[in-house]
């Protein structure tokens, strides 16, 4: 596997998906912790940006991040089965290559701690650019709970150097 130090710098955007956090009625704790975890791992991070639940707001946030050229966009929230949880649906509209195994691994690792982790419908995949000179962007949906973020990041961070090196076309 590649080492983070071997890779070109990867810019990360963190998006928190939450009606209550976006309205200011609840503090966003998961987004800032996600930012912290990426920074601790050596990534340049922007965010967290707050968006409301729903396909359109999440899709708009993701498309803005793609237009800004982030190499990785991680969302927290909106992956469950509540009536307004549509983060995976919004993400799938942009993913050209879904990494089903990675998403299943994140759920599986979370399930070691709580069976409720299996309720996450989070998607992981690559949004390829129409420009052949621009590499794809890794999109990752994480749960909205602080514990879910921690457990998912414990599983995801060791995989990222290899995934990101593949996206930019390095040998494996």
> Which pLDDT score is estimated for 2?
46
> Which pLDDT score is estimated for 1?
46
Contact 87, 79 (CB under 8 A): yes
Measured over the CA atoms of residue 1, residue 38, residue 57 and residue 132, the dihedral's sign is negative
Q: Where are the domains of the chain?
A: 8-166
Task: Give Cα separations from 28 to 40, 41, 76 (angstroms).
Answer: 19, 21, 10
Residue range 32-59, pLDDT digits in tens: 999 999 999 999 999 999 999 999 999 9
- The token duo for 13 is 């955007």
DSSP string, 31-78: HHHHHHHHHHTT-EEEEEEEE-SSHHHHHHHHHHHHHTT-SEEEEES-
Res. 133 pLDDT band, cuts 50 70 90? confident
**Helix or strand run (H / E) with residue 120:** none
pLDDT at 172 over 80: no
Residue range 56-107, pLDDT digits in tens: 999 999 999 999 999 999 999 999 999 999 999 999 999 999 999 999 999 9
Peptide bond into 24 cis (omega under 30): no
Q: Does domain 8-166 correspond to CATH entry 2.60.40.10?
A: no
> Which pLDDT score is estimated for 9?
75
- The token duo for 139 is 């999109």
87 φ/ψ angles, rounded to the nearest 5 degrees? -60, -45
């Amino acid at each position: 596997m590649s080492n983070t130090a071997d890779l070109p710098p990867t810019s990360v955007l963190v998006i928190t998906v939450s009606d209550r956090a976006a309205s200011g009625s609840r503090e966003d704790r998961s987004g800032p912790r996600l930012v912290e975890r990426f920074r601790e791992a050596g990534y340049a991070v922007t965010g967290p940006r707050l968006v409301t639940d729903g396909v359109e707001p999440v899709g708009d946030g993701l498309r803005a991040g793609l237009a800004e050229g982030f190499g990785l966009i991680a969302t927290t929230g909106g992956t469950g089965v509540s009536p307004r949880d549509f983060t995976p649906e919004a993400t799938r509209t942009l993913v050209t290559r879904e990494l089903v195994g990675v998403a299943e691994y994140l759920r599986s690792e979370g399930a070691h701690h709580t069976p409720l982790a299996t309720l996450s419908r989070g998607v992981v995949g690559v949004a390829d650019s129409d420009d052949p000179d621009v590499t794809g962007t890794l999109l990752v949906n994480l749960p909205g709970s602080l514990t879910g973020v921690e457990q998912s990041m414990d599983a995801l961070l060791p995989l990222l150097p290899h995934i990101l090196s593949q996206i930019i076309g390095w040998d494996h």
